[in-house]
A and B are shown apart, each in its own frame.
Chain A
Amino acid sequence: MSVTSPRRSPGSGGAWGRLSIAGKQIVWAWAFLALPVAFFAIVRFYPTLEAFYLSLTDWDLLSEPRLVGFDNYRKLFADPVFWQVFRNTFAYLIFGTPIAIVLSFVIAYYLDRVTFLHGTIRALYFLPYLTTAAAMAWVWRWFYQPPPIGVINGLLGAAGISAQPFLRSVDQALPAIMLTAIWAHLGFQIIIFMAGLRAIPASYYEAARIDGLGEGAILARITIPLLKPTTVFLVVFSSIGFLRIFDQVYNMTSNDPGGPLNSTKPLVLMIYQTAFSSYQMGYAAAQTVVLFAILFSISMAQLWILRNR
């Protein structure tokens, strides 16, 4: 007579009481999952499909969306600004990721062996990771100001080097912003590399030393190969981070977002402007699909590299 209320204690009779143990497990499992599964369906899956659908429409939010086939993609691939943005986005990735990975590995490798003030030095490197990107972007923006305001130009001036335009230059702005992003995530990467280093059994090193291998040989033949999963994870994580860069660019170039002359504009900023400044929802959705395709290929590449682990 009672419904299958999972809260009923077993053996209390009714439909719930007649359920087998396995049956009760199924009821409990779905009672636990119902809300989160509904959440994933409504907040993740449906919007994903909607984004694909919207990318095939022309829509300014005012009138009804109008299906236009692949027009948005055609328009996008014919747009020189998109290709500029595409180059910028990959410039962040192609320069940013190797610099971040090599730097964080070298620091982690040496930091792992330091015992004197280990915790303090680790904290110094880790602190920037805990800051808010939007806030630190403004600090860096101030650092990059022309003299007499900017700290970096102040230091350059003291060293007798001429002042640099940094964020005001089409050549220097992107590297300047990239450096801010590297700085913000370096601490995380160092910590992960250190966790990876500690996971290598000490016996491997002992065996290598007994075999007479020097430090360099141990690094090349044991440490780096055994760190491959950690390195691949960090390369993918960092690449995805650079492909999605937004906070720093938005805040460091707010008087001309993505400028000067679009030289720093990444894909996510283009998406933001297309959707929320120009209200071209269909066109913006097509741009998000392109971003998705790029990120998807990178994740697939990771799986492929790690396939025979």
Chain B
Amino acid sequence: MSTHSERGAFAVYGNLRPGRIVAWTILFLGGIVMVTPLLFMFSTSLKSAGHVYDLRLIPEQPTLANYVKVLSDGRFARWFLNSTLIATLVTLSCLFFDSLVAYTLAKFTFPGRRLVFLAILSTLMIPTEMLVIPWYLMASKLGWIDTYWGIMFPGLVTAFGVFLMRQFFETVPNDFLEAARIDGLNEFAIWWKVALPLVTPALSALAIFTFLGNWTAFFWPLIVTTDPFLYTLPVGLSSFAVEQSIQWELIMTGAALATLPTLAIFLFFQRYIVRGVMLAGVKG
């Protein structure tokens, strides 16, 4: 039985051709290969030092001792707190400012609109690496080295977010905004109460990208922090791993601790995240 739509043609039920089973199997095995590093990371984090060279995936005598050891001095807890706080605050800032700028550019007519639009667009061409030296000088002059603010300030508004959100605000019908205006809402309230709720899928996509980007960020936090208490999780992990040198079970435990939060969030919100990445990737 052949289906008339392309999708579903590979369904294992109903259309069992050997080629398709082979394709499915290869695809599945490829997927397993993709997560192998993660599996080995977790597996080794549960092994005692004596069993690290035993490369079996299932630990013979699983133990949480590595986690106890790694977490005991409180550094990872501190880095986790730093990363969570920084990624959350930057994400909130981006959601607010990016969408406010995007809405203004999409729905207002005012002198300078085109100039502002092009100016923000042009910043997409400038790589972070070119800005880190001036940022570092700015941060040293103003005492922002080893502060949360110093880690956060470069990312508080993003051109990417402005462009993503602008495309979605353009689809919001002007009639809705007019109706709210006639109801006597001020412009801020129209944006906040009428326009924003209509673009929540885009907001969640932006939130996912911004949070993930800041949670995993390495280059700038590495430059702007020297005090281990102010490290973010990736920078902290990197310094921790250098310190452990060859104690791979402890390094894998640290890596697992740095990876677990995003993986856990993904398992809960898989649909949202995949859709968000599609949305942002295609429109952005």
- Please list the residues of chain A having a beta carbon within 8 angstroms of any beta carbon in chain B: 6-7, 9-10, 22, 24-26, 28-30, 32-33, 35-37, 39-40, 43-48, 50-51, 54, 107, 110-117, 119-136, 138-140, 142-143, 145, 148-149, 151, 154, 183, 186-188, 191-192, 194-196, 199, 202, 205-206, 230, 233, 244, 246-247, 250-251, 254, 268, 271-272, 275-276, 281, 284-285, 288-289, 291-292, 295-296, 299
Chain B residue, CB-CB nearest to A47? B134
Q: In B187-231, which residues have CB < 8 Å from any A CB? A: 187-188, 191, 212, 215-216, 218-219, 222-223
Are B129's CB and A192's CB within 8 A? no
Question: A148 — which chain B residues lie within 8 A by C-beta?
Answer: 53
Question: A246 — which chain B residues lie within 8 A by C-beta?
Answer: 218-219
**19 A-B pairs, CB-CB below 8 angstroms?**
A6-B186, A28-B104, A30-B110, A43-B135, A47-B131, A110-B27, A113-B8, A116-B24, A124-B31, A128-B35, A131-B259, A133-B218, A136-B255, A148-B53, A205-B6, A244-B128, A254-B242, A268-B129, A291-B127
- Measured in the bound complex, the distance between the Cα atoms of B184 and A115 in whole Å is 51
Question: B37 — which chain A residues lie within 8 A by C-beta?
Answer: 128, 136, 139-140, 143, 183
- Measured in the bound complex, the distance between the Cα atoms of B40 and A131 in whole Å is 14
- Measured in the bound complex, the distance between the Cα atoms of B154 and A32 in whole Å is 20
Are A25's CB and B108's CB within 8 A? yes
0 or 1 for each of B234-250: is its CB under 8 Å from A? (1 = yes):
11011001100010100
Question: B222 — which chain A residues lie within 8 A by C-beta?
Answer: 250
Most chain A beta-carbon contacts within 10 A, residue among B34, B125, B234? B34
Q: A26-B110, A43-B153, A191-B274 known; A135 and B134 CB under 8 Å? A: no
- Please list the residues of chain B having a beta carbon within 8 angstroms of any beta carbon in chain A: 4-13, 23-24, 27-28, 30-32, 34-35, 37-38, 40-41, 44, 52-53, 55, 97, 100-101, 103-104, 108-113, 116, 119-120, 123, 125-138, 153-154, 156-157, 159, 184, 186-188, 191, 212, 215-216, 218-219, 222-223, 233-235, 237-238, 241-242, 246, 248, 251-252, 254-255, 258-259, 262-263, 266, 270, 273-274, 277-278, 281-282
Chain B residue, CB-CB nearest to A237? B281
Are A288's CB and B262's CB within 8 A? no
- 15 further A-B contacts with Cβ under 8 Å, apart from A43-B131, A188-B277, are A9-B186, A39-B156, A46-B134, A48-B126, A48-B134, A51-B134, A114-B27, A115-B8, A124-B32, A131-B262, A132-B234, A133-B218, A187-B34, A268-B129, A281-B133
Chain B residue, CB-CB nearest to A132? B216
Are B125's CB and A29's CB within 8 A? no
**How many Å from the CB of A42 to the closest CB on chain B?**
8
Contact of A192 among B223, B233, B281 (CB under 8 A): B281
Chain B residue, CB-CB nearest to A246? B219
**How many Å from the CB of B166 to the closest CB on chain A?**
13
Contact of A142 among B218, B252, B259 (CB under 8 A): B252
**How many Å from the CB of A66 to the closest CB on chain B?**
16
Most chain A beta-carbon contacts within 10 A, residue among B40, B126, B133, B137? B133
Chain A's interface: helix, strand, loop or mixed, by majority?
helix
Are B281's CB and A188's CB within 8 A? yes
Are A191's CB and B40's CB within 8 A? no
Are B187's CB and A6's CB within 8 A? yes
| The 8 A-B residue pairs with the shortest CB-CB distance in the complex, in nearest-first order | A124-B31, A47-B134, A113-B10, A134-B234, A195-B278, A135-B255, A29-B110, A116-B12
- Measured in the bound complex, the distance between the Cα atoms of B124 and A44 in whole Å is 10
Are B126's CB and A127's CB within 8 A? no
Are A191's CB and B10's CB within 8 A? no
- Measured in the bound complex, the distance between the Cα atoms of B219 and A284 in whole Å is 15
Are A268's CB and B101's CB within 8 A? no
Are A36's CB and B134's CB within 8 A? no
Chain B residue, CB-CB nearest to A54? B133
- Measured in the bound complex, the distance between the Cα atoms of B126 and A32 in whole Å is 24
Are B27's CB and A139's CB within 8 A? no
Are A29's CB and B104's CB within 8 A? yes
- Measured in the bound complex, the distance between the Cα atoms of B44 and A43 in whole Å is 43
Are B259's CB and A143's CB within 8 A? no
Are A247's CB and B129's CB within 8 A? no
Are B108's CB and A29's CB within 8 A? yes
Are A134's CB and B237's CB within 8 A? yes
Chain A residue, CB-CB nearest to B221? A134
Are B274's CB and A288's CB within 8 A? no
Contact of B282 among A36, A186, A195, A250 (CB under 8 A): A195
Are B52's CB and A33's CB within 8 A? no
Chain B residue, CB-CB nearest to A143? B37
Chain A residue, CB-CB nearest to B8? A115
Are B134's CB and A50's CB within 8 A? yes
Are B238's CB and A149's CB within 8 A? no
Are B55's CB and A139's CB within 8 A? no
Q: A48-B131, A139-B252 known; A250 and B238 CB under 8 Å? A: yes
**How many Å from the CB of A129 to the closest CB on chain B?**
8
Are A132's CB and B31's CB within 8 A? no
Are A28's CB and B255's CB within 8 A? no
Q: A134-B238, A191-B278, A199-B282 known; A47 and B55 CB under 8 Å? A: no
**How many Å from the CB of B44 to the closest CB on chain A?**
8
Question: B113 — which chain A residues lie within 8 A by C-beta?
Answer: 29
Question: B248 — which chain A residues lie within 8 A by C-beta?
Answer: 142, 145, 149
**How many Å from the CB of B195 to the closest CB on chain A?**
12
Contact of A292 among B123, B127, B136, B153 (CB under 8 A): B127
Question: B218 — which chain A residues lie within 8 A by C-beta?
Answer: 132-134, 246-247, 250
